[in-house]
Amino acid sequence: MLTYQTFFQSELEKAIKEEIERRKDQLVTASATFDFASYRHHVGIIDGLRAALELIEDTERHINSDGASR
């Protein structure tokens, strides 16, 4: 049985991954209409979403390692 926190984390990760894919698709299909500044902006958002995923994973590892040492 999933706890609320586990379910929330799973759904958040899924939503972030879906948003990354949506933005990547948008970037590829609309690349001809973007100027360089817009392109950099969209790539920056994708990088930020990937950083958020890494923070989630790092936090989970930190919590799991603290729990194992107790």
57: in domain: yes
10: in domain: no
70: in domain: no
54: in domain: yes
d(CA 35, CA 20): 20
49: in domain: yes
What residue numbers bound the domain in which 58 lies? Answer: 35-62
69: in domain: no
Is the full-model pTM beyond 0.95? no
6: in domain: no
d(CA 69, CA 40): 43
Q: What digits encode the pLDDT tens for the residues 3-60?
A: 988 899 999 999 999 999 999 998 888 766 778 898 899 999 999 999 999 999 999 9
Q: What digits encode the pLDDT tens for the residues 24-38?
A: 998 888 766 778 898
How many domains does the structure of the chain reveal? Answer: 1
